[in-house]
Structure 1
Amino acid sequence: MTPKTMKTTTGALRDIRIQDPFWSDYIRLIREVVIPYQWEALNDRIPGVEPSHAIKNLRIAAGEDEGSFYGMVFQDSDVAKWLEAVAYLLESEPNADLQQVADAVVDLIAKAQREDGYLNTYYQLKEPGNEWTNLCECHELYTAGHLIEGAVAYWHATGNAKILDVACKFADYIGKVFGPGPGQIHGYDGHQEIELALVRLYRATGEERYLQLSRYFLDERGRSPSFYDREHEARGHTHHWESDFMIKKKSYSQAHAPIREQQTAEGHAVRLVYMCAAMTDIALETGDAGLFAACRTLWNNIVTKQMYVTGAIGAMAQEESFTLDYDLPSDTAYAETCASIGLIFFAHRMLRAEPDGRYADVMERALYNTVLGSMSRDGKHFFYVNPLEVWPKACGVNHVYDHVKTVRQGWFGCACCPPNVARLLASLGQYIYTIDDSTVYTHLYIGGETDLLVGANRFTLEQYSELPWQGNVRFGIRTEAETGAMFTLALRVPSWCDSLQIFINDVPCMPVMHNGYALIRRTWLDGDRIDLSMPMEVMRMKGHPLLRETSGKVAIQRGPLVYCLEEADNGEHLHRLYVGPVQAAETAFEQDVLGGVQVIRMEVSRLSDRNWDGELYASNVDSLFEPATATFIPYYAWANRGEGEMAVWVREK
């Protein structure tokens, strides 16, 4: 099947006004707390957290300050992602003070850029002359990609031509350095990102060369797996990190085989989904059916064999990577925040190629659980790693848990996740709808109003949503056309919904069902109203029989939210709680708990130690159970009440 290019609301955030009882608070948090807090972090003004030095690196490169480079080789990318998040906020709601700060950052970036277009403060300050000698390990094109993405977003939001000129100048320089021609580098970066960025630059400028350069980087990957070895040999077998595993293990950066031949998700999880998102972009722009088939293959492997129930991916801390099919441990899960964000990028692009509810289901799962759970309610603390089970006493003692943090951190030396969360939530409106010539697809039920153009029809679509607490949604149509607007409204039927009721102007509607969407085609008149009722039952999710970690256990889900047990409600030793096969669940919205959440209570059994006399093992002891009441809270809300145990999967009696 050839992928179908769709017009979307992407890049038109000024036409999308989120007004939602749940999500508006998070967007306000990004605007009022997260972006200012991250600005302070980028300027090293937050006591007690890991310094960033990212702005100072740029100031030194621009000749405005003195000193030496500090931070990771990709430190510049934190500034670029911050600028991108600011762009989305400004497009949604102009703010002269914030734009003044961001314009100054643009001026600083432009001043730091070399005359030939190159911009990377690590190489400009620390290793001048060694540019492009260690693509495998040192993220040069990754950092360039984030700069280009931030530049396109900021230009689109503000019309600032200076930052777009920086991006084009850098991309043109890269196009001279890389390619199949004589004297060019026949290679690719160790961390995919430039591929995504070049497609965005192509869409902004219409310059075909950027699209072709993106395609070149994708097609070259894995076609020449010895590229890393050749550059390693050329620089005298040195390596940047403590070991040379990135060079030796080609699958770590998906360079072990051409991208069209890769059958399973391998290696670093963020790199994989960034690559897949770019592959889908190229397939969309070029109609490459073979490339899209490769996207489908990798998608299916991820979501059917290597994804956590929370929408997290990347099971292993070592190499931040996928491991093998059905290996999804809860307590040692790496589940990096950026990986779930990348999965959302991938899902959104697959939805543009072929509207299918399964992509939106995964996008929703990752958004409401892992991404939302990675940030504290105060907007100033973050998880890099998102485990599904935590025993704080073991953390710091058993080194297998060294990567697991029991409370969110103020900042990180490798601070890729916080600005990634900011740019995703600041652009949330882009993920609600996609549009083709005659159909509006609703993927996420998030309240607000959106100005749309479908064919020749201009109208405003209003959405009122009670998610994630109740499954009631209402749409309203506003149009000035006296004859109305003819189009199809496609409403996603979530995987958690067993029965969907739809009313149009209070009259029951029996829509056509297709690929997880309820399709309603008619001439819509001003004032038309569509009501959806999606019952939210408490579901007991079970893992595939090949999932060793979930065997004999259940996870509780209601609507899009996965729930967990927390020590604050249930005491310690959560592993001793068992749910019965038919126990009823009680739900209640509690305004004074974690800012207001729907909790689930269930009668359970607690394994007792009353008949144990100090033995570690015994053969003649009967298991005794005591009645207890378990309280489950949404997974995203855990660790907001201090340190304590947490578990998503619960034993079934």
Structure 2
Amino acid sequence: MQNTFTNKNLSYGIVEVQDPFWSPYMQLIRNTVIPYQWEALNDRIPDAEPSYAIHNFLVSAGLKQGEFEGMVFQDSDVTKWLEAVGHSLRNYPDPHLEKIADKAIELIAKAQHSNGYINTYYTIKRPGKQWTNLQEAHELYCAGHLIEAAVAYYEGTGKRQLLDVACKLADHIDDVFGIEEGKIRGYDGHQEIELALVKLYKLTNETRYLMLAKFFIDERGTIPNYLLEESKRRGGNSVWHDQPAPFMTSNQLDYHQAHKPVREQEVAVGHAVRAVYMYTAMADLANLTGDRELREACCRLWENIVNKQMYITGGIGSSPHGEAFTFDYDLPNDTVYSETCASIGLIFFANRMLEMERSSGYADILERALYNNVISSMSQDGMHYFYVNPLEVWPEASEKNPGRRHVKAARQKWFGCSCCPPNVSRLLSSLNDYIYTVYPEENKIYTHLFIGSEAEHKLAAGIVQLKQESRLPWEGYTRFEFTLVPEVDFSLFLRIPSWCSGDPVLKINGVAVGFDIQGGYAVVVRQWAKGDILEWEMNIEAKLVESHPKIRANAGKVAIVRGPLVYCLEETDNCSVISSISINRKSNLEVSVDSTLPGNPIVVKAFGRKDQQLSWREDIPYRAVAQRNDSQSVLVNAVPYYLWGNRGVGEMSVWVRAFDCE
């Protein structure tokens, strides 16, 4: 008889999103993005870069003749898509979509080796060479995404074919890796397997999977360094070139966060996605095992990222060279990288840190990355995407300057390396998992995100059902209605956002009440009654913000924020040389609804000025400073950053020069 698993960490309860801002996104994912991405995975999108992902599985399963095509990690695009489907089906059953996914799962199962191994690159292109190039080949990375997909699909449908494939694969990996004689004491160049194994452990309660995740974390960066030794053993042979490459050197280890043991790492370095995926797993393990040193490392790395290496939009990874962190305060706006996947990984990390330490600061960052960097990466039609998320765009420079060609002025239909689009799908289709955290034995419900939803949570005291209605991001008002409550006290915690101006107001059944504050959350403890109404009013206003003086790219500049949203200036609302605009620091920021933009958002206007160009001759690039101010007064128009680039190609900037004038 098949085992029936229950996820012992379903701390999010049963939550169904019903929100005027977020429900359209989830509907877009369900009705447009998931079907579109399935077509892309099958190479059926006209004029888009081919994916080859399904092609590789067909060849690997013996159902088609051909060679391996695409990136070495192409398998992961399929399994991230399946994970998104699993989350979507959990929330919105769809027999047609489920049938398509089941066929994809059958294909994956056919491609699995008898010992549990599965990877189309090595099956097709390098048979017999499995596990010989962990630095580059992404075998464990692809395995991790398959495992995550299997957990999500089982939770969404109760079907276990993909879960059986995942468990067989995880068992094989456990047979191959470890400290025992004859096993490989190594780890993947691209972290992902670690957090996936923790998810599999939570679902199956199989301790071996947790210990395997811990092994991969513990081995990274130890001496002798596995990646250096492996490079020597394979003679420098590379998956990127069919010829030997220079041996890996010790100064390349930080790219993989393998320059020192993880518990000793103090600053975020290297490839940003790899880093935050690893930090997520570290926080998972610290939570589950009580590892104090691992917890301290997570806190150090978190503080370094959000205080010194993060963009105002929640983007991370400033360099296009290696999609990587560089050093503290190095945050250029025009050559930025800020990969979508990196912000999604930061959200994962924030979510695990919230479980480890109940502090609202983690939810603040989660919210910032979600409302800005993540959803800005996808067009409002759901069929075009940014891989790089800039804070400043000059389209001509993107086209003609080799140093800026990675910065696109328009979203793309698909990418040869298309890790980001399915990552957006799997995050947004599981959005309901990030709203609450519940501690059943403590009878505590934490509200991290103010997103309209209906929820049911099981506490030791009994079942709680509540309906949340939110007006974010446009108004700082949220209403909770309790439709089922136990007959004893329980606690509701409400995040006090960092963007909230002044003291928030809490009302119960129309009467304002006081509250205690713990970790940045308002705490309400009482014996609730069915029909109780709680109102949470947070003051939301548009503000000009400035950055630390060490962030040289923003010197003398300001940005506009309102609530969780960052705003930007676009050419279509202002002028063709955005850099010629400056904002009066003392300007009253005016807000209004713009019905011409998708979703009728609130836009912000400020008083400023624009440098005149008419007095300049085209053939004289420089001149003595004029003794008169020939700038022109203008009304500066700013739109939410997440909407930029949906009205054609043009200049854009988040940070704008500022001046002081009464």
Q: What amino acid sits opposite 1:642 in the alignment?
A: G
Is the 2:606–2:637 Cα contact (8 Å) retained in structure 1? yes
Equivalent residue for 2:648? 642
> 3-state SS of the aligned residue for 1:297?
helix
Q: What amino acid sits opposite 1:488 in the alignment?
A: S
Which of 391, 402, 406 is the matching residue for 1:403?
406
Is the 1:136–1:247 Cα contact (8 Å) retained in structure 2? no
Q: What amino acid sits opposite 1:587 in the alignment?
A: V
Which of 353, 363, 368 is the matching residue for 1:365?
368
Q: Return 234-243 or 293-302, whichever deviates more.
A: 234-243
* TM alignment of 1:329-348, pairs within 5 A: 329-348=332-351
Equivalent residue for 1:448? 453
* TM alignment of 1:266-285, pairs within 5 A: 266-285=269-288
Residues 1:590 and 1:214: Cα distance change in structure 2 (over 3 Å): same
Q: What amino acid sits opposite 2:631 in the alignment?
A: F
Residues 1:594 and 1:247: Cα distance change in structure 2 (over 3 Å): farther
* TM alignment of 1:281-320, pairs within 5 A: 281-320=284-323
Which of 632, 641, 645 is the matching residue for 1:626?
632
Equivalent residue for 2:4? none
Which of 568, 574, 581 is the matching residue for 1:577?
581
- In structure 2, distance between residues paired with 1:136 and 1:272: 14
Residues 1:124 and 1:549: Cα distance change in structure 2 (over 3 Å): same
Equivalent residue for 1:77? 76
* TM alignment of 1:556-571, pairs within 5 A: 556-571=560-575
Equivalent residue for 1:86? 85
Residues 1:225 and 1:335: Cα distance change in structure 2 (over 3 Å): farther
Residues 1:232 and 1:580: Cα distance change in structure 2 (over 3 Å): same
Q: Give CA-to-partner distance per residue, 1:555-577, whole Å, 9 cap, x none.
A: 10000000000001112101111
Equivalent residue for 2:103? 104
Equivalent residue for 1:238? 237
What's the Cα RMSD here? 1.4
Residues 1:608 and 1:159: Cα distance change in structure 2 (over 3 Å): same
Equivalent residue for 2:540? 536
* TM alignment of 1:142-181, pairs within 5 A: 142-181=141-180
> 3-state SS of the aligned residue for 2:547?
coil
- In structure 1, distance between residues paired with 2:501 and 2:401: 43
Q: Return 126-135 or 241-250, whichever deviates more.
A: 241-250
Is the 1:611–1:621 Cα contact (8 Å) retained in structure 2? no
Residues 1:256 and 1:602: Cα distance change in structure 2 (over 3 Å): same
* TM alignment of 1:466-545, pairs within 5 A: 466-479=471-484, 481=486, 483=487, 485-499=488-502, 500-545=504-549
> What is the Cα deviation at residue 241 of structure 1?
2.9
Equivalent residue for 2:464? 459
> What is the Cα deviation at residue 164 of structure 1?
1.2
- In structure 2, distance between residues paired with 1:11 and 1:285: 17
Is the 2:465–2:485 Cα contact (8 Å) retained in structure 1? no
Is the 1:58–1:109 Cα contact (8 Å) retained in structure 2? yes
- In structure 1, distance between residues paired with 2:77 and 2:248: 22
Equivalent residue for 2:137? 138
Q: What amino acid sits opposite 1:552 in the alignment?
A: G
> 3-state SS of the aligned residue for 2:385?
coil
Q: Give CA-to-partner distance per residue, 1:251-278, whole Å, 9 cap, x none.
A: 0010000000000000000000000000
Which of 595, 601, 604 is the matching residue for 1:600?
604
- In structure 1, distance between residues paired with 2:49 and 2:474: 37
Is the 1:470–1:536 Cα contact (8 Å) retained in structure 2? yes
Instruction: Please state if 1:551 is matched with 2:541.
Output: no
> 3-state SS of the aligned residue for 1:460?
strand
Residues 1:11 and 1:77: Cα distance change in structure 2 (over 3 Å): farther
Is the 1:578–1:650 Cα contact (8 Å) retained in structure 2? yes
> 3-state SS of the aligned residue for 2:633?
strand
Equivalent residue for 1:119? 118
Q: Return 440-449 or 226-235, whichever deviates more.
A: 226-235
Q: What amino acid sits opposite 1:524 in the alignment?
A: W
Q: Give CA-to-partner distance per residue, 1:183-204, whole Å, 9 cap, x none.
A: 1111100000000111011111
> 3-state SS of the aligned residue for 1:66?
coil
> What is the Cα deviation at residue 246 of structure 1?
6.5
Is the 1:579–1:605 Cα contact (8 Å) retained in structure 2? yes
Equivalent residue for 1:211? 210
Equivalent residue for 1:3? none
- In structure 1, distance between residues paired with 2:309 and 2:416: 28
> What is the Cα deviation at residue 240 of structure 1?
2.5
- In structure 2, distance between residues paired with 1:629 and 1:495: 28
Identity %: 52
Is the 2:231–2:247 Cα contact (8 Å) retained in structure 1? no
Unaligned runs of 5+ in 2: 1-6
- In structure 2, distance between residues paired with 1:385 and 1:246: 27
Is the 2:589–2:605 Cα contact (8 Å) retained in structure 1? yes
- In structure 1, distance between residues paired with 2:530 and 2:123: 59
> What is the Cα deviation at residue 469 of structure 1?
0.7
Instruction: Please state if 1:256 is matched with 2:254.
Output: no
Q: Give CA-to-partner distance per residue, 1:228-255, whole Å, 9 cap, x none.
A: 2221221222222366586650000100
Q: What amino acid sits opposite 2:284 in the alignment?
A: D
Q: What amino acid sits opposite 2:585 in the alignment?
A: P
Equivalent residue for 2:419? 416
Is the 1:565–1:574 Cα contact (8 Å) retained in structure 2? yes
Is the 1:225–1:250 Cα contact (8 Å) retained in structure 2? no
- In structure 2, distance between residues paired with 1:478 and 1:152: 31
Is the 1:246–1:253 Cα contact (8 Å) retained in structure 2? no
Instruction: Please state if 1:327 is matched with 2:340.
Output: no
Is the 1:57–1:69 Cα contact (8 Å) retained in structure 2? yes
Instruction: Please state if 1:617 is matched with 2:622.
Output: yes
TM-score by length of structure 2 reads 0.95
TM-score by length of structure 1 reads 0.97
- In structure 2, distance between residues paired with 1:302 and 1:602: 31
Is the 2:508–2:535 Cα contact (8 Å) retained in structure 1? yes
Q: Return 284-293 or 76-85, whichever deviates more.
A: 284-293
Equivalent residue for 2:30? 31
> 3-state SS of the aligned residue for 1:395?
helix
Is the 1:74–1:143 Cα contact (8 Å) retained in structure 2? yes
Equivalent residue for 1:222? 221
Is the 2:359–2:519 Cα contact (8 Å) retained in structure 1? yes
> 3-state SS of the aligned residue for 2:400?
coil
Q: What amino acid sits opposite 2:526 in the alignment?
A: R
> What is the Cα deviation at residue 594 of structure 1?
3.0
- In structure 2, distance between residues paired with 1:25 and 1:99: 21
Residues 1:245 and 1:441: Cα distance change in structure 2 (over 3 Å): farther
* Structure 1 residue ranges, 4+ long, deviating more than 4 angstroms after superposition: 6-12, 242-248
> What is the Cα deviation at residue 7 of structure 1?
7.6
Is the 1:137–1:247 Cα contact (8 Å) retained in structure 2? no
- In structure 2, distance between residues paired with 1:164 and 1:397: 48
- In structure 2, distance between residues paired with 1:459 and 1:421: 31
Is the 2:12–2:437 Cα contact (8 Å) retained in structure 1? no
Q: What amino acid sits opposite 2:137 in the alignment?
A: C
Is the 2:140–2:188 Cα contact (8 Å) retained in structure 1? yes
Is the 2:469–2:480 Cα contact (8 Å) retained in structure 1? yes
Q: What amino acid sits opposite 2:399 in the alignment?
A: G
Aligned length: 644
- In structure 1, distance between residues paired with 2:51 and 2:557: 42
> 3-state SS of the aligned residue for 1:320?
coil
Residues 1:82 and 1:225: Cα distance change in structure 2 (over 3 Å): farther
Equivalent residue for 2:46? 47
- In structure 2, distance between residues paired with 1:303 and 1:285: 24
Residues 1:80 and 1:609: Cα distance change in structure 2 (over 3 Å): same
Residues 1:329 and 1:246: Cα distance change in structure 2 (over 3 Å): farther
